Each structure stands twice: as C-alpha cells, then as structure tokens.
Amino acid sequence: MGTVFIEILALSLGIAISPVPIMGTILMLISPGSKSASVGFAFGWVSGIAVAVTAFTFISLLLPTGSSGKGMPGAEPGPLFGWLQIGLGILLAVVAVVQWRRKAGGSSTGDALPKWMTAADKLSVGHAVTIGFFYAAFRPKNLLIAIATGLLIGSPELNFTQSFLAIVIFTALASFTIAAPILAYFFGNTKVEGWLEATSHWLVRNTLIVTSAAMLALAAILIWNGVGHVR
C-alpha cells in the first residue's frame, strides 16, 4: 500500500507541475477585474481532476486482477495492469518528445500557449470554472496521468476506504500549485504581486522545458513499474 501511495504522489506532481494553468491563475490575480475568476478557475481545476481520477478508478475496477479481492492481504493487479502502465508511459514520453521538438524547432512561447491565456484578465467566473475543469480533465498530459492514477487507485492493493483517501490526496496535491498563488495573494495582497509576476515571466520562458521534463520523468516511472507487474 505504501508503494502505491508513493506512486500516486509522483503522479500528482506531474499535474501540479503545469506551467500554463499556473500562469493563467497568476494573470487573473494580478489583473484588476479577474481576481474572482482565479477562484473560479481553481474550483474548476479541482473538480476536473477529481472527476477524471474518480471515473478512471471505477473503470479500472473492471480489469481482471491477479487476486480474488480488492484490499485483501497479498492482493495484486494482473499482468494487464502492467501493460497498461507501460502503454501510458510510452504515450507520455511521445507527448513530451513532441513538445520538446516544438521548442527545438523554434516555436515561440506565445505559439505554445492556449488562446484563453490572452484573455485571462477578462474572464468571467463561469467561463473560468469551465476552462479550469476542461483543462484539468482533458488536457492530454493530465488525461494520461489521470488514467494512470485511476489504475493505481482502483488496483486490488487498496481497499475502498484507501481508494477514497487516495483520490482526495491526489486531487489536493495536484491542485496545490493552482491554489497556492491564490492563497498567497489573498493573505499577502500586494506584497506578493512582484513575486507572482516574476514567477509568471519565468514560466513563460521555460514552460515547454518544465512540462516535457516532468512528463519524461513520469513516463520512466510508469514504464518501470509496468515492467515489474508483467514479469
């Protein structure tokens, strides 16, 4: 069980290290009319992660296992679990390489950013909630990580109580980097604006590098764990 939670922690960091939504949150915070939209974006983000991981957890319960009961002593996932992890790891690596090649090919950072970022300072709360939800749940990197996490949480190694706790922990950790700037701003107000702007500028310059590196690291973890389950 402890190993599973460590893997879940690593996967949650893969979503938490998401430069574009962090930049979007910061832009909303430092814009005069969009501070409430940042809270809406965070709510949508948390909801999107929770819904995606919960859905894939339930789907993973349908997979054949190598044991007779979920959460029972000695319970282990079947070989299919390992092959799925390997497949997800390969897909993550492919996405990472594609993003890196875009960077090496001379694509500007602005071209790599989604269109909604240019209007982040004008978003309504409702629009921000919608963007946060869909960006968290359906962005390719996040979707692959949600599938991998659902496989882990739904594996027979965890009982239902542990699975519920794992979903809560994963969602909280994956949302920390979105919630932290908001909490820092509302508690520190103008004192943290300079830090937020500096962070945003750094992320703009390094967004593809940071994202690609995180995905390659997670891909290696998934492939390694997957090989261990099919041997």
pLDDT digits (tens, 9 = 90+) for 40-65: 999 999 999 999 999 999 998 887 76
Tell me the H-state helices in 61-159: 79-104, 109-112, 125-138, 140-153
How confident is the model at residue 57, as a pLDDT? 95
Give the closest residue to 150 by CA, choosing from 225, 101, 84. 84
pLDDT digits (tens, 9 = 90+) for 123-161: 889 999 999 999 999 998 999 999 999 998 988 878 889
Give the whole-angstrom CA distance, residue 5 versus residue 9.
6
Give the whole-angstrom CA distance, residue 82 versus residue 66.
11
Give the whole-angstrom CA distance, residue 143 versus residue 113.
18
Residue pair 206/19 in contact by the 8 Å Cβ criterion: yes
What global pTM score does this model have? 0.84
